[in-house]
Amino acid sequence: MFCGYRGISLITCFSLMFFGVDAVSDELPQPGNLSLSWSPDYSSVCARWSEPAGLETDCKVSYEIHFYSKKCPPSAEEPRKWRVEKLTHTWKTEEDEMCVSITTNPKWNCGNKTSSKSLLQGLSRPPGLVKNFTCLYYSHMKMNCTWISNTTDLQLFYRPHSESSLKPCVSYIGKGHMRTGCHLYGKEFVNDTFVFLVNGTHGGFPVQSNFNREIRNFVKVPPPKLSISLVGKDLHVRASPPDFKSSCWKYQFNFKKCNEDEKSITGNQQWEFSLEYNEACHYTVRVQAIYQYCGEGGSDWSAPVHYGENRDPVGPLKMTSIVTPIIVACCLIVALVLCRRHKDYLFPKIPEPSLLVKDMLNNSKDKGLNVGKLYIPYEDVVEKKISLEPESTFLHPEP
């Protein structure tokens, strides 16, 4: 009985083992030695691998590549797919991070074999040779291209998209041996798309970086200069136009009058305008040039320009109403002080009248009623000098 149960158990175990081996053997083996590498200009990725180990000689297989634009493990996004028979594949990409999976798929003479499990490999773009590559067209046939880099042996080449030959930069911008830009001139850059090639070394290996720029969308000019003048009764505002084709520009003027809110005037191809002038107002004007009809770009706002002063029309009246009473009060105070100081000269004392005059003025009946200071008459002093003249004989003739 025991042996019977033991035999059944062994048979069951061996059956499960063979079933598992059969299940495992139904999958094709994975590819080996998967590697990913960048092209010299970092514009494409090359995947290489070796044939699966243990693959039957008569079994012909193909390989399916799945490309994910994320780090491994792959996300749920729909990948780009390729099915190839060779052991290498190259494709262009602009992604900085990626995950690649490869499976072995049966083609013919592989029996009941199914696709293998996925083999994963990740790849990241190395730090660029230059960063923040920017070109600004700032004047007629003049442009600056700048970048950020730690490489000292950079070289810039450029060409219009319609041409095939590259031209080297002849006027670099930078400090010492570090090149951070290039000054380009001598061509009408806004009429074409330009291809830029930057050569240098990174980690001891030569590296290239490619950039395409449609220059008409990278216009940056200095702010226009403003002038304000009084012409008759109007204030004339004029901005200096950029050194470009005039039909490509429009101008936006912002002005402020007295204490009013800022107002805006926009003119197509009009870089001047007039305002009715108010002498009691202070004016502030600024302008911005916009490159709108031929591409994109423009200038920053200009520095504000001022004209006139704010004056309150009722200010003088208010000042007069305040100052006049103060002046009058001061004058009165001064007059009172002077009168008090010089009253003896301005108002001298009147001497008391003589008794005779008082008697003439007063009624004798009322003398007894007069109450006041006792009048003491002044004694008249008469000089007593008497002289006798002899009697004239002419008056009494002798008998």
Per-residue pLDDT of the chain (399 residues; tens, 9 = 90+): 444 445 445 445 444 444 444 444 588 999 999 999 987 667 789 999 999 988 888 899 999 999 998 888 887 777 889 999 999 999 988 787 889 999 999 988 888 889 999 999 999 876 667 888 899 999 888 999 999 888 888 899 999 988 888 999 999 998 888 899 999 998 888 888 898 988 888 767 777 788 888 999 999 999 999 999 999 889 999 998 888 888 889 999 999 988 888 888 887 777 888 888 988 899 999 999 999 888 999 999 999 999 988 776 555 555 566 778 888 888 888 878 777 777 666 666 665 555 545 555 555 545 444 455 555 665 655 555 556 566 555 445 554
Query: 31 burial class (0-12, 13-18, 19+ CB within 10 angstroms)?
Result: buried
Per CATH, which fold does 221-307 belong to? Immunoglobulin-like (2.60.40)
Predicted confidence at residue 316, as pLDDT, reads: 54
Distance CA 1, CA 49 (A): 57
Predicted confidence at residue 83, as pLDDT, reads: 92
CATH classification of 131-217 is 1.20.1250.20, yes or no?
no
Same fold, 26-124 and 131-217: yes
Please give the CATH superfamily to which domain 26-124 belongs.
Immunoglobulins (2.60.40.10)
Residues 97/75, Cβ–Cβ less than 8 Å? no
Predicted confidence at residue 336, as pLDDT, reads: 81
For 48, list phi and psi in degrees, rounded to 5: -130, 145
Residues 273/237, Cβ–Cβ less than 8 Å? yes
End-to-end CA distance of the chain: 233
> Domain limits of the chain?
26-124, 131-217, 221-307
Distance CA 38, CA 96 (A): 11
Decide: helix, strand or coil at residue 141: coil
Predicted confidence at residue 386, as pLDDT, reads: 58
For 80, list phi and psi in degrees, rounded to 5: -80, 140
